[in-house]
Structure 1
Amino acid sequence: MTNQTQEAKKYDIGEIQGALYGPGIMGLKGAFSREFAAKLGEEINELYAEALQREGGAVGRGPKRHYVEIHPEDISGFVELVTHPWLQTVCESVLGPDYKIVEIGFDVPNPGAVNQPWHRDFPAPDDTTRGRRLNSLAFNMTTVDVEEDMGPFEIAPGTQWDDGSEFEHEMFPPKENYERYEAKAQQKMPKMGDIAVRSALTIHRGTTNHSDKSRPVLVLGVDAPTANNHERHDLQVTKEFYKTLPEDLKRHLHCRLVDELEVIVQGHSIEGLMMGEA
């Protein structure tokens, strides 16, 4: 039995399923070292600066907010991240043994970012609305210690099951729902090294960043075989990098093998976030 297999056995599948099917979010404190998070932060800062110089390199997620999709080999810790036993256990417990990694990127709320409208990241699929199953997960890892004035991520637990058929674009609930979300809202203030997972259908928003610091967070999207979120993304891996990957990881990558990495054309712009909360 490998050390990773032994560590995976520490995690309670019932607790994982209960958290994601109940509140819709859970986290693991200290999953990685602060040094790992700091290195990730340095790499994201460089990638962000490059993306801002390139037309279409960063997609707006509201005033003073951007999302940038990247390549797995853009960050040095990709393999360590996606082979963490907790992450693997969560994916297998909720999405099944044939889960696929379909997206990697990062979100940066800068100083001056305002409250986003309450939203989910995409319309709920039939698996969820009819089958009451979650077929995708989003993992988030902060590269800074989040403080109250930095615009923490805010989520309304349990709302992944809300009927979104009458939402604008099936993603943006009407203003009359806001009072309920605000009554349920939880703000998350993770530290460097922590990792969280959520259903992207759980109603959430980024809040106002009153500080003079940005709050970068890595985003990893994972699908069950029945999901189609890969259609919104373009996960690329060079053939040389692919050769270096563990065999068990290769089968979990929904990627395009290329000789040289190509510039990513962002395929998931969320126009409803551009103006911030009305």
Structure 2
Amino acid sequence: MIAEERKPQTTYDIAQIMGGLYGDGIIGLKGAFSREWAQQLGEDIAVLYEAALKRPGGAVGRGPKRHYVEIHPEGIRGFVELCTHPWVVAVCEAVLGPGYKIVEIGFDVPNPGAVPQPWHRDFPAPDDTLVGRRLNSLAFNLTTVDVTEEMGPFEVAPGTQWDLPEGFEHGMFPPKSLYPRYERKAQQKMPQMGDISARSALTIHRGTANTSDIPRPALVLGVDAPTANNAERHDLQVTRAYYEALPESLRQHLTCRVVDKLEPIVQAHTIEGLMMGEA
């Protein structure tokens, strides 16, 4: 298997992980997976995306020419390798604690012609963050292509995971009066195949315009601390045979339904404010 060919580092600097996610709100690991592994992921996503677009409720809009698709873990060949990667485990344990729970797997696709999104959070900040100043969830992202400036790279305003949501529409969309501050802080991320990042979904961010002729798919893995409730927005399912074949070290971190037959996922986490793009 491809995953057996790589020899990932197994120890990581916890202070660096904590400092990055509590500071900028985003960190990354270059070359976490082989390019072949990322290419295989891209092949799986292409098949799932085509099927989702044909199914009512299979893909949800994230703005013009953009979609999000929630998937079943067994729909991609690299799910176990992803979730058990030593860096992923180290980041989850450091920030979310040993009882962390995997609650979401899906992918975003900004297609050619996608326009800039408004600055936003993926969901309202919880009391754990607003009052307790703790991060209780993380999103991991992996690209299936080598990202260029023309592909509409992800843009983030570091440190804004701690901003109070004063005047934020739905607790997620800051007023346009704050845009100049975000634009001054903005960093565009251009990962290559095999790279992985972890971020707080509360850090203010947006997708930029994809002026290329190439889609930019990115896998999303959502993970919660025991105090978070993001599982309510998702429907992680695995078949009984698949679940029983998983390593016990992974099973104990899955918040999922174990079913005899996988059911089509109707995405529940719509973000209405993204549908029109940036005004």
The TM-score by the shorter chain falls in which range? over 0.9
Alpha carbons 2:30, 2:194 under 8 Å: kept:
yes
Q: Is 1:110 the counterpart of 2:96 in the alignment?
A: no
* Correspondence for 1:137: 138
1:11-33 deviation line (CA, Å, top 9, x unaligned): 00000000000000000000000
* Correspondence for 1:169: 170
Counterpart of 2:155, as a letter, is E
Counterpart of 2:31, as a letter, is G
Counterpart-to-counterpart distance in 2, 1:165 and 1:37? 40
1:54-89 deviation line (CA, Å, top 9, x unaligned): 111100000000000000000011000100000000
Relative to the length of structure 2, the TM-score reads: 0.97
Counterpart of 2:175, as a letter, is P
Q: Which runs of structure 2 are paired with 1:1-278 in the superposition (5 Å)?
A: 10-278=11-279
RMSD: 1.2
Shift of 1:209: 0.3
Counterpart of 1:272, as a letter, is G
1:143-174 deviation line (CA, Å, top 9, x unaligned): 00000100000000000000014200000000
1:103-132 deviation line (CA, Å, top 9, x unaligned): 000000000000000000000000000000
Counterpart-to-counterpart distance in 1, 2:113 and 2:266? 27
Counterpart-to-counterpart distance in 1, 2:136 and 2:47? 33
Counterpart-to-counterpart distance in 2, 1:181 and 1:213? 27
Alpha carbons 1:8, 1:89 under 8 Å: kept:
no
Shift of 1:9: 5.1
1:234-256 deviation line (CA, Å, top 9, x unaligned): 00011000011001110000000
Counterpart-to-counterpart distance in 2, 1:270 and 1:258? 28
Counterpart-to-counterpart distance in 2, 1:9 and 1:75? 24
Relative to the length of structure 1, the TM-score reads: 0.97
1:241-272 deviation line (CA, Å, top 9, x unaligned): 00110011100000000000001121100000
Determine helix, strand or coil for the equivalent of 2:82. helix
Determine helix, strand or coil for the equivalent of 1:105. strand
Determine helix, strand or coil for the equivalent of 1:193. coil
Counterpart-to-counterpart distance in 1, 2:52 and 2:11? 39
| Structure 2 unmatched runs, 5+ | none
Count of matched residue positions in the alignment of Structure 1 and Structure 2? 274
Counterpart of 2:91, as a letter, is V
